[in-house]
């Protein structure tokens, strides 16, 4: 019934589109004048019929304005760029106008960088969205001086983590697997290096980062909580340039430039850690061959076939490796490949067609020679999609498209070789699935005050052969958290359907402009998620396996409503303030029976529990973008609770990453063009935990016991930390300098706090000890100083 | 597969992660019955211990005994074997009973105060230990020169056999939680389908050796395979996980399920611990050059 209503609303908005009279259009691509890279964050503004009209380009810099014949003065603005004014005369045809913007240059030759137009948040219909420019991220003090995108995101409202060293991030009460992490549109299944200390995104290759936490556009689907859209640089079409750095953990280099001037360019960026190389001289002989490193390469090329056609190919390869030869070898990593074709059909219709390959895999080998255990696992996907932007007129912009993803899951291939020459294979069968979606979104500017965006995504998922389907019975009420009894196993042939699901995912957003400086916004979205990261440890490990939705695992669903108030202060928009409250209903959330065995277990689906959840909170954000003093303060008050039969006596319990209070202060001060000092302060409530109350002895073992049988009913102490960094520009101040370099001094955890990651309990190892102990485990238990040298040419 | 241990070791090497013993206030304790009943077909006195839970930070082993309980073991024909209290909380059946009806159910009845507890266990068969081998290993950065022991044996044919492999060095039981060595068929878990073949390396070799307490020349090694029920396999697996559940990759702490059920409907008293009966096979060797 509800879905019918939504469809009707859609049709109504279509009819309203058709009755508009024909007009001409001014359209084109906005580019950087020095590199010819396209610019997405610009705004084209003109004065029509006594009213200002703003147009925003799409993700590829394409803009389109509908106008009647006449003369127009276009003002093109973009933060960090000189504003340009162009006079255009429209007589009896559409005008094709590519716009070049020049970067603002400071006296030192450094470029002024900013994420978006000042005060833009108040104007746009989108909410719950944070855009970070890489220049902004680079100012934030970083662990070991290594700029990191995911760690920077954790300073934004609504974003948290279970702790230092944990991979991924949690958005508004969502698990780490509920974020759609995209690198040039390719999904990344594990965004971490070194467990969770660094992310896979090389900051020298990244151009901008957008995190959408709510009011998620219909173009995105497949995850419940958020979309993290990371776009890499396109590559300078005019001249060669590069950047890099040398740090304590790893070194970086990135180069870009034209392959054919104004037609084709490339970006190539690489990083490698070198702890193992540095440590080698200090290790005993039998450990000299220890391997401990990670590396990654980000590459992109593009070719301009015609003013209407451009092709991009981008790729990421990364690997983490650990091992002691002969004992064990462990390595994991992601690979992505994206091929993209941008086509401008006409002044109103833009197509981005994409083909994507993405894979995450790991491999572990224990032992060597004849006596070894060889284990690997991966998730691979192939997808194609077409996304259209139709700039129908100045009131309606339509986004629509379709996509399909083919998944191959290899949950585990494992072979144990025996000393007698035989080997035994206990691999799990592969799993196959396909996810498809179609969507349409209408951005409808009803009048100067009201802007609505209505969308619908229809998604479909099929889990299919060849493979086996496992059917389980239910456990009695008092044994819900034990493995479910296996009733039967059915075999399915190639491409035979095992389970099928459809979901209607309506999306809606509305903005009411109170005045020039403030607006009210609201949004609703339903999201469906069909693939799941199966992990019951506090922090996700690289060994964790993704599983598809099956006959046992139902699609996860989330409904979110959010309302927000956006306000700019100051004459020239000195401060941006926003506050949002949200409520989220979660269904089919995955949990685990006690002691679930999740790896290399054919019957893993019988060890899963399913429940519902609720997440709600309020977020406050104030930001200063311009001037010598910049930064932000964010405060989040939030709860995330789960209800799973068989856990916590069938009552709601807080999720592992439930942190009611989360305060972040990010401040940066430019003392002079050569010195910038930045600092961040973080305070987060302690994460929930389960403590034993008692113990008992069986066969000499002292077994911990919780007489309340509760889950996450206590909290570990709060987390707080201060970081400081100072950036010192080296070299002589000179305009248009070719070579820029800087040195970054940093101190992480300045006041040397031992923040608990967890509190655990143990029988002490010491002989004769009779008392059990509580242990505070801190991942980083001291101040971490760093020096990094960065250069740019 | 304890995936977390080496990962933590690696992280700890490069980050100054640290662990401090701290004082923590726990929720109040509740006194509950604890049953420790592992019965085998080996000759000798069979013992069942009854005690109470204690606070987590109380001295280990200070569990107060349950005295004056009635403890009866029943075989599949409901023939009762009355256990008598030989010391506080220590209930014994004298040598001479032949508990050897493999594949059949045994029942345990415990009456204490107004509560009657019942538990049922199917007597599981044990796999054979064909031989015990050892090999001299040179000293490395991690360990001194030592002998590494290994037993050879095949899992019984058929899916779903579970075993507890107990190792004794010079007649003293390797009783650290990290020494708990259990097998589901020839491997670790039901989903592996590793049936009827030689036990995999970690089970037949790694877990027989205590790195801090290695074997030397002339040491006596005793390996016992005890057939156990699938439920007790789960009990031991969870107990091992819960005793030392630590670090970055800990799983949510959970209670280890018991198979001792209170039959008195009006009572809310619960029991912890386990009753299991199984076939036991033992092999011994002395380490020589």
The DSSP code sequence of A55-69 is E---TTSEEEEEE-S
What is the spatial distance between Cα A137 and Cα A123, in angstroms, rounded to a whole number? 24
Q: Considering only CA atoms, which of A241, A134, A249 is closest in space to residue A740?
A: A241
Give me the percent of chain A exceeding a pLDDT of 70: 93
Which of chain B's residues have a Cβ under 8 Å away from the Cβ of A695? 53-56, 58, 60
pLDDT band at B40 (very low <50, low <70, confident <90, very high): very high
CA distance linking residue A650 with residue A382, whole number of Å: 40
**Nearest partner of A517 among A568, A565, A579, judged by Cα:** A568
What residues of B are in contact with residue A759 (Cβ under 8 Å)? 22, 24
pTM across the whole model: 0.88
What count of Cα atoms within 13 Å lies in the side-chain half-sphere of residue A335?
A: 10
* Reported confidence tier of residue A5, pLDDT bands at 50, 70, 90: low
* C-alpha–C-alpha distance, residues A462 and A142, integer Å: 43
The mean pLDDT of B155-171, rounded to a whole number, is: 94
Distance CA A24, CA A68 (A): 6
Q: Do B238 and A656 touch (CB under 8 A)?
A: no
Q: How many CA atoms lie within 13 A of B5 on its CB side?
A: 6
* pLDDT tens-digit map of A431-486: 999 999 999 999 999 988 999 999 999 999 999 989 999 999 999 888 888 889 99
Q: Does A707 touch chain B (CB under 8 A)?
A: yes
- In angstroms, the CA A94 to CA A91 distance is 8
Q: Give the A window 388-427 contacts with B, CB below 8 Å.
A: 416, 418, 420, 424, 426
Whether A67 and A26 have beta carbons less than 8 Å apart is answered as yes
CA B105 to chain centre: 20
pLDDT bin (cut points 50, 70, 90) of residue B145 is confident
How many whole angstroms separate alpha carbon B203 and alpha carbon A684?
43
Contacts of B49 in chain A (CB under 8 A): 697
Contact A777 B19 (CB under 8 A): yes
Write the residue in B52, B180, B248 that is nearest to A757 by C-beta. B248
Q: What's the pLDDT at B87?
A: 93
Q: How many CA atoms lie within 13 A of A493 on its CB side?
A: 0
CA distance A129 to A621: 12
Our CA-based measurement puts residue B29 at a distance from the nearest CA of chain A, in whole angstroms, of: 5
Say which range, A28-42, A393-407, A520-534, A691-705, has the weakest mean pLDDT. A28-42
**Which burial class, exposed, middle or buried, applies to B148 when counting CB atoms under 10 A from its CB (0-12, 13-18, 19+)?**
middle
For residue B191, the distance in angstroms to the closest alpha carbon of chain A comes to 4
Is A704 exposed, middle or buried, given 0-12, 13-18 or 19+ CB atoms closer than 10 A? Answer: buried
Token digits of residue A175: 């698990």
Q: Select from A606, A470, A610, A597 the least CA-distant residue to A536.
A: A597
| CB within 8 Å: B248 and A373 | no
Q: Nearest CB to B249: which of A286, A538, A772?
A: A538
Best residue in A695, A752, A756 for a mutation probing chain B (most B CBs within 10 Å): A695
Q: Residue B206: count other Cβ atoms within 10 Å of its Cβ.
A: 14
Q: Does A122 touch chain B (CB under 8 A)?
A: no
Inter-CA distances, A274 with A247, A291, A364, Å = 10, 10, 21
List all residues of chain A from 573 to 612 with a beta carbon under 8 Å from chain B: 592, 594-597, 599-604
Chain B hits for A291, CB-CB cut-off 8 Å, are: none
Residue A766 — pLDDT band, cuts 50, 70, 90? low
CA atoms within 13 A on the CB side of A728: 9
Closest CA to A304 of A268, A255, A265, A267: A265
* Interface contact flag, B61 A697, Cβ < 8 Å: yes
Q: Do B11 and A697 touch (CB under 8 A)?
A: no
> Which A positions 672-691 lie with beta carbon below 8 A of chain B?
689-691
**Residue in chain B lying closest to A483 (CA):** B234
Q: What local confidence, expressed as pLDDT, does residue A112 receive?
A: 44
Least confident among A536-545, A765-774, B35-44, B194-203 = A765-774
Q: Do B53 and A696 touch (CB under 8 A)?
A: yes
Dihedral sign, Cα of residue A283, residue A289, residue A295, residue A301: positive
pLDDT at residue A114, rounded to an integer: 45
Contacts of A757 in chain B (CB under 8 A): 248
Range with the poorest average pLDDT among A501-510, A560-569, A622-631, B66-75 = A622-631
Determine the pLDDT at residue B169: 93
pLDDT for B18-33, tens place per residue?
Answer: 888 899 999 988 899 9
């Amino acid at each position: 019934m509800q879905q019918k209503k939504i469809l009707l609303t859609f049709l109504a908005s279509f009819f309203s589109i058709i009755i508009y009279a024909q007009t001409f259009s001014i359209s084109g691509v906005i580019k950087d004048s020095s590199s010819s890279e396209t610019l997405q964050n610009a705004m084209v503004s003109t004065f029509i019929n006594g009213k200002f009209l703003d147009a925003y380009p799409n993700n590829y810099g394409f803009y389109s304005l509908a106008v009647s014949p006449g003369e127009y003065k276009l003002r093109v603005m973009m933060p960090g760029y000189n504003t340009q004014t162009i006079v255009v005369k429209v007589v009896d045809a559409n005008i094709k106008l590519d716009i070049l913007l020049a970067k603002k240059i400071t006296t030192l030759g450094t470029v002024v960088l900013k994420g978006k137009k000042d005060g833009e948040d108040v104007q746009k219909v989108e909410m719950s969205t944070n855009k970070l420019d890489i220049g902004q991220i680079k100012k934030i003090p970083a662990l070991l001086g290594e700029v990191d995108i995911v760690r920077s995101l954790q300073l934004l409202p609504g974003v948290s983590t279970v702790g230092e060293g944990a991979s991924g991030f949690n958005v508004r009460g969502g698990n780490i697997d509920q974020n759609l992490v995209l690198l040039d549109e390719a999904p990344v299944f594990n965004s971490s290096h070194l467990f969770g200390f660094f992310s896979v995104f090389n900051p020298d290759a990244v151009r901008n980062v957008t995190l959408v936490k709510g009011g998620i556009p219909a173009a995105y689907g497949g995850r419940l909580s958020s979309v993290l859209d990371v776009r890499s640089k396109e590559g300078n079409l005019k001249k060669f340039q590069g950047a890099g750095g040398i740090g304590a953990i790893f070194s970086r280099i990135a180069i870009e430039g034209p392959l054919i001037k104004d037609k084709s360019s490339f970006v190539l960026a690489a990083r490698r850690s070198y702890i193992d190389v540095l440590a080698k001289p200090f290790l005993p002989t039998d450990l000299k061959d220890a391997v401990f490193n990670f590396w990654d390469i980000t590459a992109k090329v593009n070719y301009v076939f015609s003013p209407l056609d451009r092709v991009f190919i981008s790729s990421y390869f990364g690997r983490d490796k650990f091992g002691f030869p002969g004992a064990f070898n462990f390595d994991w990593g992601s690979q992505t490949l994206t091929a993209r074709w941008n086509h401008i059909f006409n002044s109103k219709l833009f197509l981005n067609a994409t083909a994507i390959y993405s894979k995450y895999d790991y491999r572990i080998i224990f032992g060597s020679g004849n006596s070894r255990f060889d284990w690997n696992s991966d998730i691979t996907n192939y997808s194609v999609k077409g996304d259209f932007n139709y700039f129908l007129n100045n009131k309606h912009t339509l986004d629509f498209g379709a996509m399909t993803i083919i998944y191959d899951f290899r949950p585990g291939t494992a072979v144990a070789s025996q000393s007698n020459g035989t080997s035994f294979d206990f691999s799990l069968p592969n799993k196959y699935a396909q996810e498809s979606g179609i969507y349409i979104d209408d951005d409808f500017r009803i009048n100067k005050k009201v802007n609505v965006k209505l969308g619908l995504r229809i998604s479909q998922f099929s889990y299919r052969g060849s493979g086996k389907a496992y059917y389980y019975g239910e456990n009695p009420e008092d044994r819900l958290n034990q493995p479910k009894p296996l009733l039967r196993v059915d075999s399915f042939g190639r491409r035979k359907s095992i389970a099928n699901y459809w979901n209607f995912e309506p999306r809606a957003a509305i903005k009411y402009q109170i005045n020039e400086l403030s607006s009210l916004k609201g949004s609703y979205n339903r999201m469906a998620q069909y693939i799941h990261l199966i992990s019951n440890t506090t922090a996700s490990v690289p060994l964790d396996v993704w599983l598809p939705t099956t006959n046992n695992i139902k699609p996860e669903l989330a409904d979110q409503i959010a309302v927000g108030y956006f306000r700019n202060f100051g004459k020239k928009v000195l401060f941006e303030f926003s506050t949002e409250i949200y409520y989220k209903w979660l269904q089919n959330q995955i949990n685990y029976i006690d002691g679930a065995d999740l790896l290399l277990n054919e019957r893993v689906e019988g060890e899963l529990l399913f429940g519902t959840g609720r997440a709600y909170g309020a977020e406050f954000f104030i930001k200063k973008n311009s001037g010598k003093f910049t930064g932000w303060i964010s405060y989040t008050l939030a709860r995330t609770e789960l209800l799973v039969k068989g856990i916590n006596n069938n009552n709601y319990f807080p999720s592992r990453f439930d942190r009611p209070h989360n305060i972040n202060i990010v401040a940066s001060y430019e003392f002079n063009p050569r010195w910038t000092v930045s600092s961040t302060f973080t305070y987060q409530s302690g994460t929930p935990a389960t403590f034993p109350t008692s113990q008992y002895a069986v066969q000499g073992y002292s077994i911990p016991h919780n007489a309340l049988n509760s889950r996450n009913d206590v909290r570990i102490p709060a987390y707080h930390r201060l970081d400081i960094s100072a950036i010192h520009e080296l070299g002589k101040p000179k305009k248009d300098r070719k070579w820029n370099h800087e040195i970054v001094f940093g101190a992480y955890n300045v006041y040397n706090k031992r923040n608990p990651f967890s509190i655990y309990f143990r029988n002490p190892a010491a002989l004769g000890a009779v008392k059990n102990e509580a242990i505070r485990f801190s991942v980083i238990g001291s101040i971490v100083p760093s020096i990094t040298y960065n250069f740019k040419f | 597969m304890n995936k977390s241990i080496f990962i933590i070791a690696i992280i700890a090497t490069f980050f100054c992660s640290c662990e401090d013993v701290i004082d923590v206030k726990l929720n109040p304790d509740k006194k509950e019955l604890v049953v420790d009943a592992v019965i085998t077909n080996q000759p000798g006195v069979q013992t069942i211990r009854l005690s109470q839970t204690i606070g987590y930070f109380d001295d280990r082993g200070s569990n107060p005994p349950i005295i004056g309980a009635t403890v009866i073991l029943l075989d599949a024909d409901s023939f009762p074997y009355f256990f008598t209290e030989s010391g506080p909380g220590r209930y014994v059946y004298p040598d001479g009973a032949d508990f050897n009806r493999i594949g059949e159910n045994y029942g345990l009845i415990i009456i204490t105060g107004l509560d009657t507890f019942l538990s049922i266990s199917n007597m599981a068969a044990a796999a054979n230990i064909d031989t015990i081998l050892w090999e001299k290993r040179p000293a490395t950065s991690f360990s001194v020169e030592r002998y590494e022991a290994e037993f050879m044996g095949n899992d019984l044919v058929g899916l779903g056999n579970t075993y507890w492999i107990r190792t004794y060095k010079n007649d003293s039981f390797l009783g650290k939680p990290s020494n708990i060595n259990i097998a589901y068929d020839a491997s670790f878990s039901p989903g592996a389908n590793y049936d009827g073949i030689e036990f995999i390396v970690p089970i037949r070799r790694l877990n027989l050796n205590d790195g801090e307490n290695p074997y030397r020349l002339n040491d006596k090694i005793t390996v016992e395979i005890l057939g156990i029920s699938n439920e007790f396999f789960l009990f031991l697996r969870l107990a091992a996980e819960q005793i030392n559940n630590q670090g970055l990759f800990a799983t949510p702490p959970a209670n280890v399920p018991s198979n001792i059920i209170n039959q008195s409907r009006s009572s809310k008293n619960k029991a912890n611990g386990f009753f299991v009966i199984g076939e036991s096979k033992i092999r011994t060797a002395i380490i020589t050059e």
